[in-house]
Amino acid sequence: MLRLRQSRFRRAIALVLVVSASLAFLVRLADVQLVSAAALNEEAKDKRAVPVEIPSMRGDIVDRNGVVLATTDARYDVQLSPKNTKLNGGVFTRPDPKGGVGTINVTAKEAFEEIGAITGQKASEIQKTVDDALKKNKKSDFAYVKRSVDLTVLNKLKALNIPWLTFSTHMTRTYPNGAVAGNIIGFSGAEDKPQAGIELSQDKCLTGIDGTENYERSADGVPLPGSVVVTQKTLDGGTVKLTLDRDLQWQAQQIINEQVQKVSAEYGYLVIMNVKTGELVAVAEDGSVDPNDVDASDPAKREARSFVAPYEPGSTFKVITAAALIDQGAATPRPRTRRLKTGDPSPMCTLKTPSATR
């Protein structure tokens, strides 16, 4: 009987201990998952999460036929983590390039040679970049390998599956037609900030919204699969379509440049309008700026002088003379088809609408 009581007592104690431990774990779990979840996630995020900015593409500027006058070219910077090149004795693993199910070991020196073969650098150059960075800071996590590479080089480097090699994107504004319509298109300055022309006046339309995302990585810098979280979707900029005709603009610029040189003029403008619609199909100025090489252009000719430069009214005062004739009944803005009779005032002034010039 005594043994039975002792056995029951031991079972009761064990049950109490199990229940108590379960309750303790339950309370802790509730604290971690609910009460302290936000604080713990934020703390962990700072330790393992890597924020990545996804640049948006600035919109194109095109002519009336959709021909691109200004566009954005994506370029990529290649970076590495100097401290991570030393992890595990400078050896990392990657999938078997022959398609096998296993992995192969690769040394940092071998990786430097593979990178250099693609970027056109020597392995010793990349090794020196790592050594210099670690000399300044033993925990250095960033150094440039090569800047402004194209998409082909980027894809080849990504295919190497080097865990401590990273990439960032930056955009470069390019103008395929050089100085053609450069005075109207405008140009960008440092960090592709718009400085003049359509680039500046339509900046709100052309500018997109950069995206952001986070991913988690292990201690050796390898991104964890399925850890990417998009926090802001990327929205590219809009397209601005001009009424200009690229080919006509080019021809008009050749003509005005030749004429200015021929008569030794201070400057010259040549504007062609479709009078039926009011659209400007060419606005040429001598010495138009080349947005690809602004410094090579005359500083006085970098903007759309035909729009921003003041000029003397000259014969525009003739509108006063015309208004006086109409006011006195000596002229009318409408063509008259009948013959004038004796005694009529002075002969009619017929205003003809010129045809569109191309």
Tens digit of each residue's pLDDT (9 = 90 or more) over 26-44: 877 777 676 666 666 666 5
Which tens digits make up the pLDDT trace of 136-189?
999 899 999 999 899 899 999 999 989 899 998 888 889 999 999 999 999 987
As a CATH number, domain 50-62+70-179+212-239 is 3.90.1310.10
Cα–Cα distances in Å, from 33 out to 37, 42, 229, 231?
5, 13, 19, 22
**Letter string b/e over residues 260-283, b meaning 16 or more CB atoms within 10 A of that residue's CB:** beeeeeeebbbebbbeeeeebbbb
- The Cβ of residue 250 has, within 10 Å, a number of other Cβ atoms equal to 17
Whether pTM > 0.75 for this model: the answer is: no
pLDDT at residue 6 greater than cutoff 80: no
Helices of type H across 210-303: 246-263
Number of C-alpha atoms within 13 angstroms, CB side, residue 291? 33
Give tens-digit pLDDT for 184-241: 999 987 767 888 999 999 999 998 888 888 777 666 556 666 667 788 888 889 999 9
